[in-house]
Amino acid sequence: MIRFLIVLISIGFFPYAGAEGIDALSITTNPDGSQEYSVTLQVLAIMTALSFIPAAVIMMTSFTRIIVVLAILRQAIGLQQTPSNQILLGMSLFLTFFIMAPIFSQIHDKAVQPYLNEEMTSLQALNQAKEPLKTFMLSQTRIKDLETFAKIAGYDSLDKPEDTPFIVIIPAFVTSELQTAFIIGFMFFIPFLIVDLVVASVLMAMGMMMLSPMIVSLPFKIMLFVLVDGWGLVMGTLARSFGLGT
């Protein structure tokens, strides 16, 4: 998977790196017979592009929605450090690979593998790789967000969403993902909020105003979450929100 992403980013950001390859090291002979060695700018640019892989995984896949929902869920339960940030990131990353597997498979079959087999140029591979990802992002992007960013960029005469440039789709997609994540997080928050309100009311009626309701409600919220198979419901809801299993 990592090798697949590296190849995809490399051909995506640098279409001028053709199938013939790039000289990694250039040697210049001076008039006095001495030689100077330097790394070509293309190789330096490709190595710099590898740093964009985390940003691409976060902003152009299902990762954003998943991590935001899980963070809101942890806050709703009242557990500040459990599960830890590392666990949430790991869960989000592997669930992202699960959800995006069909998209990655299409990109691999249509773009990466033909490029590695030297059946198409890097620019052709880039155009082929963009289509499945663009289709996925458009399916999760609200028309309102798409129109907003299209107007900001000056694209007022687009006939259909498919004609929207990729540079406009990305911010619109991220905005829609945040909106959807907050809606799902709000729905998960309500049951735990009800438990907090009930516990606070009972403690108030018993005159135990000095006792923090969070201390008392936390075990009940954990028990409720376990009894309803909370993790299964959360993961299933997140996967189905992207159209899986429907």
C-beta separation of 242 from 177 below 8 A: no
- Of 51-55, 147-151, 190-194, least confident by mean pLDDT is 51-55
DSSP assignments along 96-120, one per residue: HHHHHHHHHHHHIIIIIHHHHTTSS
Q: What is the pLDDT of residues 156-203, one digit of tens each?
A: 777 777 777 888 888 889 999 999 999 999 998 898 888 888 888 887
Report pLDDT for 2: 43
Q: Whole-angstrom Cα distance, residue 59 to residue 172? A: 11
Question: What's the mean pLDDT in 28-42?
Answer: 57
In single-letter form, the type of residue at position 74 comes to R
Residue with tokens 């907090």: 196
- Of 25-29, 43-47, 109-113, 114-118, least confident by mean pLDDT is 25-29
Q: Compute the C-alpha angle 232/99/243, nearest 5°.
A: 80
- Give the CA distances from residue 82 to residues 70, 87, 193, in Å, rounded to whole numbers and listed in that order: 11, 9, 18
Report pLDDT for 179: 92
Report pLDDT for 3: 46
Among 42, 36, 35, CA closest to 11: 42
Report pLDDT for 10: 46
